[in-house]
Structure 1
Amino acid sequence: MSDSLNRNLFGGQFHWGVSTAAFQTEGAWNADGKGESIWDTFTHKKGKVKGNQNADTACDFYHRYKQDIDLLKEMGIPNFRFSLSWTRIMPRGAGEVNQAGIDFYNNVINYCIEQGVTPWVTLYHWDLPQALEAQGGWTNRNIINWFSDYTAICAKAYGDRVKHWMVMNEPAVFTGAGYFLGIHAPGRRGLRNFLPAVHHAVLSIAAGARKLREILPDADIGTTFSCSHIEPYRDRLSDKQAAIRADALINRLFIEPTLDLGYPVKDLPVLKKLTDYIQPGDEHLMAFDFDFIGLQNYTRELVKYSFFTPYISASLVKAKDRKVPTTEMGWEVYPHAMYEVLKKFNAYSQIKQIYITENGAAFKDVLANERVNDVERTKYLQDNITQVLKARQEGCRVNGYFVWTLTDNFEWAEGYHPRFGLIHVNFETLKRTIKDSGYWYQEFLK
């Protein structure tokens, strides 16, 4: 381990952990009364996921949660961020509550506490009930009430033991990939789907947070955003302006209305079309005074002017075309991006506290003699944690870091190919093996 990198440099109140998501790990897709989510529907269609893979079994966390929480304890990881499956708790998204689903998360939470692991709960990590999607999903304004009702059920069921709550995970990704590009569930495309989905997600984030605050006045309430450090590809005015537009779309679209700053329309004029969906009084309903913001950063993006890209006239220059080191996801390995996004978001005076709620990397892992010697991942984590420390030492309000992810899992449209875990999973036998990066993190956390 690098001598200069030491957990103690962060102080005793810094939160260390790992993050996971229900759909990516649980499996048991139709067990014990669970309803169908948009990702169940999407992955059961041919051609939507690499190799036509699905998450019907995934890591089987549903049946093996004790084994995984035992590994958390063994590795000395004090905080466990996981999400709740809306359709496990409310099979049709509204109305009937499934007691078996409520019981499952009670068991997970209780076992975490028993093992000395603090549960951090995300209410929504992309697995919308298919029954609600059939009624328009995020494009239907009724979703604000559906989501608030779901939030209330979760808060009442688990709020006596769960102190840290995240309302949503990466709204820019689930609206952009799911309702504009169509490459994620539910597979919708175009502005007419994207814009209402964006606005209703913004309103739902704030409504869910208000519901949590009403029921759990002492809870630590946040929500998480994906972000990338954006730079112009060339020193040209057209590329610099393209980078500003891309930044507005990728980094500012959700955080600014949440902070009561409105949508970044000036820098991304296509957002003027949101007025079709904004109702009187919405500007006050979009904002919430969060206790913390979760940031999820993996890389940087270089952006150039592109006449042929509709709405933003900007395109990303792929890392492979730039001949730079990449992960299995094709993302540039660029740890300094972490420092840059922390400085960027820290500049919003309204943000009280920042946690890095996801950071990690997928590399080609080889299991040999019961060992995964994943040197690249270990270095990636060390380098990113070093950048967090640098930002913190310069006064950034960053007070937590969660690795993505605990176990290799189902990586959405990429299937099982990209492995992000600190723990290797053999997807045929479901055997778990702690990787060298996991042992490094264990040692670091001592």
Structure 2
Amino acid sequence: MSVLTRRHLLRRAALSASAVPAGRLSTSTAAAAVAGATLAGCDADPEADDARRTAPDARLGLRFPDGFGWGAATSAYQIEGAAKDDGRGESVWDTFSHTPGRVRGGDTGDVAADHYHRYVEDLDLMKDLGLATYRFSISWPRIQADGTGAPNQRGLDFYRRLVDGLHDRGIAPMATLFHWDLPQSLQDIGGWESRDVAYRFADYAEAIFEALGPSVPVWLTINEPKTVVQNGYLQGHHAPGLREPDAAYLVAHHLQLAHGLAVRALRATGSASRIGPALNLHPCYPADDAPGAAEATQLYDGYENRLYLDSIFKGAYPADVLADLGPESRMVRGIRDGDLAIISSPVDLLAVQYYTPIYVTGDGGTVRKWPTSEASWQQIFPDGMYDILTRVTRDYGDVPLTVTENGLPTPDRLAGDGTVDDIGRIAFLRDHMAAAHRAISDGVPLESYHVWSLMDNFEWNEGYEQRWGLIYIDFPTQRRIPKRSAHWYRRVIADNSV
């Protein structure tokens, strides 16, 4: 890897993580910004537009296909807590969050939303919302404390109780095998830089498949490998907290390999359950007509999207990305014969996670075009949902799609009357759902949609500063309080329309 490429990778990761510095929006401003965004293909009547601007929770009259799956999503480290209970081992996020200066406010996931002890209450909240599907993740160190060996029965029992509880309430489980909480013992031997860890992941996946079997109809393999690469190995503000460009894309390859090995492990069981990856996809657009902007955008898209999509669906990494990394990069040298055949093992669906667009300049930088949420990296652009869904179908065929994360943080406050008025979240979700509806109308095989997130949680390096949930968590008391958005979403689900 050349010095120039190394610098570009660091810069690209920084820009992808935070775009251009921008102020945060208040709840009312966010609502107005989202409500004012134009969604091509929606009702163009001026009076309807005025209603949307003045009432962000106004109905659009968009009915979804019968059987469409409305859901919500979480991840283990962000909500479970119980960090040392029942044989759970330490993860890289335990280490990272307990390292001074790594997480805002010194927060950790030791308790989080205490879901491990309060899952029955949370299941009842899901039922009250009317969820058809719940996407959660399994904590690898809860199953294998050091990432190897016989599974921890107490950990398996917890997920068995959770899955059974979902079925009892008519909610379909969607389980993610890896949502960033790598056992620390595996990090100590190299983490995802070690090819062996991909095979340890396959062993772990096999143990989970054998334990939970057909009771989980949909499995997701690796959550957002790109985030591990960019935030964990380029920028260093996620676990394991490294800034090592030479390692970053070798990590990307091993994460892709782990995905393929897990797919093959499920197939070997003869299971009828479905399986696929969960990828955060950022539509990339030229910032303007400046010379070089289109070419720079194409390469940027290669790192953001095609590196992961092409290897899974086409059995090859993008040639422009490999050329940019260079033949001596650790990733290129780490690809072995047969790896791409494993990575491209046929999947049953693709989980798409959409949060923000990226606008690329001629020099490979980025600019902000739209208002941001409290997460300064997130530009609010609902049309990006339509664009990324239709692009995936156009470029990779009619693979069934599910949206497994879409949401934003808002400055939620518990009012004196015990309510939380998060109208900005309602406006955001409504307009993104409308974009998804338009994609379905244009032939995208979208089966389900999951709000991120079911509840407020530990938001990684932001600690408990940002609230992303439909359900407000009063962390000192662990009291659960459905926000205005939860009541609105209940009606969306009941009517199957926005």
Match of 1:311 in 2: none
The residue type paired with residue 327 of structure 1 is S
The answer to whether structure 1 residue 49 and structure 2 residue 106 are counterparts is: no
Residues 189-212 of structure 1: per-residue CA shift (max 9 Å, x gap): 222211211111111101101111
The residue type paired with residue 350 of structure 2 is I
The answer to whether structure 1 residue 297 and structure 2 residue 354 are counterparts is: yes
- C-alpha separation between the residues in 1 aligned to 2:428 and 2:214? 37
Higher relative contact order (CA 8 A, sep 6+): 2
**Secondary structure of the structure 2 residue equivalent to 1:166:** strand
Residues 126 and 174, structure 1, Cα contact 8 Å, conserved in 2: yes
- C-alpha separation between the residues in 2 aligned to 1:23 and 1:127? 7
The residue type paired with residue 349 of structure 2 is F
Change in CA separation of 1:156 and 1:74 when aligned onto 2, cut-off 3 Å:
same
Q: 2:140 aligns with which of 61, 86, 97?
A: 86
* Superposition map of 1:123-202 within 5 A: 123-202=177-256
The answer to whether structure 1 residue 108 and structure 2 residue 162 are counterparts is: yes
Deviation at 1:265, TM superposition (A): 2.4
Shifted more, 234-243 versus 106-115: the winner is 234-243
Residues 140-171 of structure 1: per-residue CA shift (max 9 Å, x gap): 01012101100000001111311111111111
The answer to whether structure 1 residue 382 and structure 2 residue 430 are counterparts is: yes
Shifted more, 330-339 versus 81-90: the winner is 330-339
Change in CA separation of 1:45 and 1:71 when aligned onto 2, cut-off 3 Å:
same
Residues 175 and 194, structure 1, Cα contact 8 Å, conserved in 2: yes
- C-alpha separation between the residues in 2 aligned to 1:201 and 1:344? 23
**Secondary structure of the structure 2 residue equivalent to 1:421:** coil
Residues 21-48 of structure 1: per-residue CA shift (max 9 Å, x gap): 0000001111111000000000000011
The residue type paired with residue 2 of structure 1 is A
Richer in helix (by share): 2
Deviation at 1:14, TM superposition (A): 1.6
Residues 290 and 362, structure 2, Cα contact 8 Å, conserved in 1: no
* Superposition map of 1:19-418 within 5 A: 19-266=73-320, 269-272=323-326, 273=329, 274-306=331-363, 314-317=364-367, 319=368, 324-330=370-376, 331-368=378-415, 369-418=417-466
- C-alpha separation between the residues in 2 aligned to 1:268 and 1:236? 25
Residues 245 and 268, structure 1, Cα contact 8 Å, conserved in 2: no
Residues 172 and 253, structure 1, Cα contact 8 Å, conserved in 2: no
Deviation at 1:74, TM superposition (A): 0.7
- C-alpha separation between the residues in 2 aligned to 1:167 and 1:46? 31
Match of 1:310 in 2: none
- C-alpha separation between the residues in 2 aligned to 1:3 and 1:360? 19
The residue type paired with residue 405 of structure 1 is S
**Secondary structure of the structure 2 residue equivalent to 1:116:** coil
Deviation at 1:391, TM superposition (A): 0.7
- C-alpha separation between the residues in 2 aligned to 1:281 and 1:229? 30
Q: 1:4 aligns with which of 43, 60, 69?
A: 60
CA RMSD of aligned residues (A): 1.4
Deviation at 1:13, TM superposition (A): 2.5
The residue type paired with residue 337 of structure 1 is G
- C-alpha separation between the residues in 1 aligned to 2:93 and 2:270? 30
Residues 358 and 403, structure 1, Cα contact 8 Å, conserved in 2: yes
- C-alpha separation between the residues in 2 aligned to 1:209 and 1:267? 25
Structure 1 runs not aligned, ≥5 long: 307-313
**Secondary structure of the structure 2 residue equivalent to 1:41:** helix
Match of 1:309 in 2: none
Residue identity (%): 36
Change in CA separation of 1:349 and 1:230 when aligned onto 2, cut-off 3 Å:
closer
Normalising by structure 2, report the TM-score. Answer: 0.85
Shifted more, 278-287 versus 32-41: the winner is 278-287
